[in-house]
Structure 1
């Protein structure tokens, strides 16, 4: 299955309340009509604090992250080349100030809970300059995944390895223009459980390993709306 994610910044003259309401109540109706769409989640950013960790943070600031799942790349490309495509673009231009797109290969390390259960943290990862993309993928999946799964109180954990980048939407760019290697999804019961997990011996070990291959970890707490 192929995952397409939108990195969203609202228009500057829109309040957060107006942006969230329009995205959830209006734009969702249009996006959910995409042919071949298997699942569609909106992640509304509620907090950008670097909770639980002291790792270097990147410059990214986001208001939302969309997630759209398709059966494959061909089906995804076909969905965004049809008659609905221009209507989507027109509507996005109505309430979104900046929209970048990434495609990703997902690796479910620990099956996530149902939307709305506990809290969810999403993090953008950038590898260290001395680490290749192949080395990053290996360390993240083969070594770091099991370490993070061992965090006490973790309810779910998914790794999304970036395979394609567009900035803005529709314009393919290279890594240098959008240096994001992966997007993490982690679920905990609450903020206290999140902080406790990373303060534990397992959390300390996981973050020590993170520093060997990750340069920046930029975290956001999100409220997830399951549209489809």
Structure 2
């Protein structure tokens, strides 16, 4: 499985509902035509928390949407780079989003998410100063299952370690987009206490490594080909 995740802001002049409608009703049918695409997931940001972050990071991580694309293998992912498909995506993206950043990630499922309605939290983790990439990865993986077991109501936990990144489809350095891991956490209810507890526990774990974290509560929508009128 190959996973691509993108983050972006809505166009400044666009209202929140107009942004969400465009993404769901207009952009999704275009994206669902990407050759080889296995799953297309839209995560609309509805809440945001940060810890141990600089002012520069705070500004960079003002986002409205998180997109997740799954492909069965690396060759299948090449469909997103075909000239015609790329142009169609770019032409529509120019109408409703900005500050597009994309990551290819190595996905590791720690706790499989249950097949039922759940609340999802997406967290972007940046290693602390002086911590090497390999050291961070090793330490962030260490005891992760044990940690997950301490989170009340946790129903799923996936770690996505970033292997490459782009800005507006152009290659980017780590310094330009300093994200090491994207964690996905699912909890069983949407009560403020449950969500805040899960976020606080994740941020505390990151703080022990001097890492900064941005956590977003999201509403998830997974369009089907039938829904958007695209042939299987």
SS of residue paired to 1:129: coil
Per-residue deviation at 1:109? 0.7
Q: Distance in 1 between matches of 2:197 and 2:219?
A: 21
Q: Distance in 1 between matches of 2:120 and 2:204?
A: 22
Q: Distance in 1 between matches of 2:153 and 2:199?
A: 10
Structure 1 residues 96, 209: CA separation in 2 closer, same or farther (over 3 Å shift)?
closer
Aligned to 1:162: 162
Aligned to 2:221: 225
SS of residue paired to 2:143: helix
SS of residue paired to 2:153: coil
Q: Distance in 1 between matches of 2:139 and 2:210?
A: 10
Q: Distance in 2 between matches of 1:198 and 1:33?
A: 35
Per-residue deviation at 1:214? 4.4
SS of residue paired to 2:147: helix
- Is 1:31 the counterpart of 2:2? The answer is no
Per-residue deviation at 1:79? 3.0
SS of residue paired to 1:186: strand
- With normalisation by structure 2, the TM-score equals 0.86
Q: Distance in 1 between matches of 2:84 and 2:122?
A: 32
Q: Retained in 1: the 8 A contact 2:79–2:85? A: no
Alignment of 1:203-222 (within 5 A): 203=201, 208-222=204-218
Q: Distance in 2 between matches of 1:114 and 1:209?
A: 27
Gaps of 5+ in 2: 225-232
RMSD between superposed Cα atoms in Å:
1.9
- Is 1:22 the counterpart of 2:22? The answer is yes
SS of residue paired to 2:20: helix
Q: Retained in 1: the 8 A contact 2:10–2:98? A: yes
Q: Retained in 2: the 8 A contact 1:119–1:187? A: yes
Deviates more, 1:123-132 or 1:76-85: 76-85
Q: Distance in 2 between matches of 1:198 and 1:6?
A: 21
Per-residue deviation at 1:210? 2.4
Q: Distance in 1 between matches of 2:199 and 2:14?
A: 35
Deviates more, 1:183-192 or 1:73-82: 73-82
Aligned to 1:5: 5
- With normalisation by structure 1, the TM-score equals 0.88
Gaps of 5+ in 1: none
Structure 1 residues 36, 127: CA separation in 2 closer, same or farther (over 3 Å shift)?
same
